[in-house]
């Protein structure tokens, strides 16, 4: 009996030591939801909302004004028909304000439930990504000169127009001029001194 108690005390002591080590080693991971196992339950709940594509289900978001959101976060914002579209914001209220898209594409990820979505509008495409069951704006691609950035640059503008509008604080690689503001990027592809592509991008880990 004594020996059994002695063994059990030893086991308990070893487990307390290892358990303490585990708690120290894990640190901030406890707050995160990065592993498949952690996200399964929350995504399964969120999927039903996503599948419905029913913006009314995100009741909190539908009450928010997109303009209010724009003021809170520093970053590039595209505006279409007086609807501000800031990056990295919840997509639902913005999509509601934009109205029905011309067409739509969705791309499930390799494993995770939750979809990357692309909404096609007149002159631009809007992409979203899922995060814990909620869609956020990840990118806006301007497709033709019927739309322009807030600063007046459009497909067909000159490099000079871009620099006049956004300044010299860019990085350039193979003709792609990139400006960064907050957690957003604004890319201008310049070919033969002319803007041929404009993309707003949210800076998010794991997002292409």
Partner 1 sequence: MMKKILINVLAIGLAILVLLFFQELFMPKYMSSIHEGNLVEEYYDEEKKHDVIFIGDCEVFSNISPVTLWEHYGITSYIRGSAQQLIWQSYYLLEETLKYEKPEVVVFNVLAMKYDEPQKEAYNRLTLDGMKLSLTKLKAVRASMMEDESMISYIFPLLRYHSRWNELSLEDFKYLFDKDKISHNGYLMRIDTKPVDVIPKGRRLANYQFGDNSYHYLELMTKLCKENGIELILIKSPSVYPYWYEEWDEQMVQYAKEHELTYINFLKLADEIGIDYGKDTYDGGLHLNLSGAEKFSLYIGQILSEDFGLKDRREDDEYKKIWEEKISFYYAMKEDQERELKEYGYLKSYGAMVQNIENQ
Q: Find the farthest-apart pair of alpha carbons in the chain and give their distance in angstroms, rounded.
A: 88
* Shortest Cβ 174–partner 1 spacing (Å): 5
Q: Nearest to residue 89, comparing CAs of 164, 98, 81?
A: 98
- For partner 1, the closer of residues 65 and 171 by Cβ is 171
Nearer of residues 60 and 172 to partner 1, judged by Cβ: 172
**What are the C-alpha distances in Å from 143 to residues 10, 58, 155, 173, 204?**
69, 29, 8, 21, 23
The CB-of-69 to partner 1 minimum distance in angstroms stands at: 25
Give me the least distance between CB of 149 and partner 1, in Å please. Answer: 16
Closest CA to 120 of 138, 97, 103: 103
* Phi, psi angle pair for 118, to nearest 5°: -125, 125
Cβ proximity to partner 1: between 2 and 63 the closer is 2
CB of 113 to partner 1, least distance (A): 6
Give the dihedral of Cα atoms 71, 74, 75, 80; nearest 10 deg.
Answer: 0
* Cα angle: 178, vertex 184, 186; to 5 degrees: 30
Helix residue spans in 86-204 (DSSP H): 91-98, 159-166
Pair 50, 114: CB distance under 8 Å: yes
Contact present, 51 and 135 (Cβ < 8 Å): no
Q: How far apart are CA 122 and CA 25, in angstroms?
A: 51
Please, what is the minimum distance in Å from the beta carbon of residue 30 to partner 1? 5
User: C-beta of 62: minimal distance to partner 1 in Å?
Assistant: 18
Give the residues lining the site for partner 1 (CB under 8 A).
3, 6-7, 10-11, 14-15, 18, 22, 25-26, 28-30, 34-41, 44, 47-48, 51-53, 103-113, 118, 120, 125, 139, 141, 173-176, 178, 187, 189, 196-197, 199, 205-206, 208
By beta-carbon proximity to partner 1, the closer residue of 71 and 191 is 191
Q: Which is nearer to partner 1, 72 or 173 (CB)?
A: 173
| Identity of the residue, 69 or 130, whose beta carbon is nearer to partner 1 in the bound complex | 130
């Amino acid at each position: 009996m004594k020996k059994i108690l002695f063994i059990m005390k030893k086991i308990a002591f070893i487990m307390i030591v290892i358990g303490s080590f585990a708690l120290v080693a894990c640190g901030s991971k406890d707050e995160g939801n990065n592993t498949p196992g952690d996200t399964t339950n929350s995504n399964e709940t969120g999927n039903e909302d996503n599948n419905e594509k029913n913006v009314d289900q995100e009741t909190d978001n539908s009450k928010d004004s997109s303009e209010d959101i724009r003021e809170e976060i520093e970053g590039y914002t595209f505006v279409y028909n007086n609807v501000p579209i800031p990056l990295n914001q919840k997509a639902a209220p913005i999509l509601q304000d934009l109205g029905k898209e011309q067409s739509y594409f969705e791309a499930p990820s390799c494993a995770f439930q939750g979809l990357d979505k692309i909404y096609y509008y007149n002159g631009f495409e809007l992409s979203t990504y899922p995060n814990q069951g909620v869609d956020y704006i990840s990118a806006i691609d301007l497709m033709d000169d019927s739309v322009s950035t807030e600063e007046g640059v459009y497909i067909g503008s000159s490099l000079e127009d871009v620099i006049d509008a956004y300044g010299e604080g860019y990085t350039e690689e193979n003709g792609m001029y990139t400006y960064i503001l907050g957690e957003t990027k604004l890319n201008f592809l310049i070919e033969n001194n002319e803007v041929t592509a404009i993309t707003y991008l949210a800076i998010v880990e794991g997002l292409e």
